[in-house]
Structure formats: structure tokens, C-alpha cells
């Protein structure tokens, strides 16, 4: 069984299902999380796939959303078709590096006293419940904190607060991509 997903601007999952499924006999699963269109995938909507899915096929030119579904399903091989370059590639993700970076961030956070909590304000990337949860946990631990709202995260902005360890309440993969700036 194949799992097919796409970026917002590519609305061809139903065509892929018809072509691959009907003509070639593939069983294709196309996800839908309301209010997204069929096959549309965001970092925060990446599902854990059923056990019988044998491959991920992603239609798009970027890796962000593909990486989110790869993180959720590390044992499922992933492929990407880029409609601009017309190239079909096997994609891989550095799971060990991600886990090592997360472990290192936990060690830094355990020694830190000053934290900054970022609430992402772009689209639906910020999660107020996670933000409040982090705030409560820091208070309970007797840590100092500042609250920051950002639509986009830039390392140079975070570096202005040199004695602060940053926590993000936005989509986890955003923290992974800014791994040198977050604990």
C-alpha cells in the first residue's frame, strides 16, 4: 500500500490514485485532515501510517512537510516527485542526528535557569496550550522566563538574548531545523 501526500499547490493526488491504483494495481491511501484538501499535508498533521503502508510518495518541491511524515514513520521508505524538475527521488532523514540533537538539548535545558518561550504566530504554527503548559512547568521548576511572539524564527534575533535557552511551542520540526537555537 502506498501513502500519497502533497504540498498545497499540487492538487493531483486523486489523479495519482487513479493512474497508479487503477492502471497499475497499487492500493493508495490519501490522507485528509479537516479543513485541508485530500492529500494535503502540513508538518502538524503528519499521521502515523497504518502498518500495511509500504512507501510514502510525496508530490512537491520542498522537504519540510515530507520530513514531518518521515519523522512520524521512520521505517517507511519515502519518495518525492518534484513537478518542477520532474525528478523522482528516494528521500532519507537523519533520525540518529535528530535524536542526538534532542538529547543534547535536554541536557542543556536541565542546567539552564533562564528560558524564552516562543509562540509561533504564523498561521496555525503556534499552540497556545503547549505555550501555557511550558510556562506552567517552568514556574513549577522555579525557572525565569520571557514570553516572545514571532511569526518567523531567525537565529540572529534569538542570539540577542545570549543568556536565554529557547523553547518553541510551534511545530516540532521547526525546532529541529533551528536545533542550534532551541533546547
The full 3-state SS of 135-147, as one line of letters, equals: HHHHHHCCCEEEE
Query: Please, which pLDDT band fits residue 30 given cuts at 50, 70 and 90?
Result: confident
Torsion of CA 105, 110, 111, 115, to 10 degrees: 80
pLDDT tops 60 at residue 179? no
The phi and psi torsions of 163 (rounded to 5 degrees) equal: -100, 15
CB neighbours of 17 closer than 8 A, spacing ≥ 6?
Answer: 4, 28, 30
pLDDT digits (tens, 9 = 90+) for 41-92: 776 778 888 899 999 888 888 888 889 889 999 999 999 988 889 899 999 9
Residue 3 in grid coordinates: 501513502
pLDDT digits (tens, 9 = 90+) for 89-124: 999 999 899 889 889 888 888 888 999 888 878 766
- The pLDDT assigned to 170 comes to 56
Burial class (CB within 10 angstroms; exposed 0-12, middle 13-18, buried 19+) of 143: middle
Top pLDDT among 16 and 91 is at 91
Q: Helix, strand or coil for residue 97?
A: helix
- The pLDDT assigned to 10 comes to 60
Top pLDDT among 130 and 78 is at 78
- The pLDDT assigned to 163 comes to 85
Query: Please, which pLDDT band fits residue 137 given cuts at 50, 70 and 90?
Result: very high
Which residues in the chain are classed under CATH 3.40.50.11850?
2-91
Top pLDDT among 26 and 181 is at 26
Q: Helix, strand or coil for residue 63?
A: coil
Which residues in the chain are classed under CATH 3.40.50.11860?
99-177
Give me the sign of the Cα torsion angle 72, 47, 131, 180. positive
CA distance 43 to 53: 19
- The pLDDT assigned to 115 comes to 92
What is the chain's mean pLDDT, rounded? 79
Domain 99-177 sits in which CATH superfamily?
A: Diphthamide synthesis DPH1/DPH2 domain 3 (3.40.50.11860)
Q: For domain 2-91, give the CATH number.
A: 3.40.50.11850
Query: Please, which pLDDT band fits residue 142 given cuts at 50, 70 and 90?
Result: very high
Residue 25 in grid coordinates: 494495481
- The pLDDT assigned to 172 comes to 53
- The pLDDT assigned to 1 comes to 59
Amino acid at each position: 500500500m502506498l501513502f500519497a501526500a502533497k504540498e498545497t499547490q499540487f492538487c493531483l493526488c486523486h489523479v495519482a490514485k487513479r493512474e497508479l491504483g487503477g492502471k497499475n494495481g497499487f492500493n493508495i491511501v490519501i490522507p485528509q485532515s479537516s479543513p485541508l484538501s485530500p492529500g494535503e499535508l502540513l508538518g502538524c498533521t503528519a499521521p502515523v501510517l497504518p502498518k500495511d503502508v509500504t512507501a510514502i510518495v510525496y508530490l512537491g518541491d520542498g522537504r519540510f512537510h515530507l520530513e514531518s511524515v518521515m519523522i512520524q514513520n521512520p521505517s517507511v521508505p519515502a519518495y518525492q516527485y518534484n513537478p518542477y524538475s520532474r525528478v523522482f527521488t528516494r528521500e532519507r532523514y537523519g533520525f540518529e542526528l535528530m535524536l542526538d540533537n534532542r538529547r543534547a538539548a535536554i541536557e542543556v535545558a536541565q542546567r539552564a535557569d533562564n528560558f524564552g518561550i516562543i509562540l509561533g504566530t504564523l498561521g496555525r504554527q503556534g499552540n497556545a496550550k503547549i505555550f501555557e503548559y511550558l510556562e506552567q512547568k517552568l514556574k513549577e521548576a522555579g525557572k525565569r522566563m520571557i514570553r516572545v511572539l514571532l511569526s518567523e524564527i531567525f537565529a540572529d534575533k534569538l542570539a540577542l538574548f545570549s543568556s536565554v535557552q529557547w523553547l518553541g511551542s510551534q511545530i516540532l520540526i521547526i525546532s529541529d531545523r533551528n536545533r542550534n537555537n532551541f533546547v
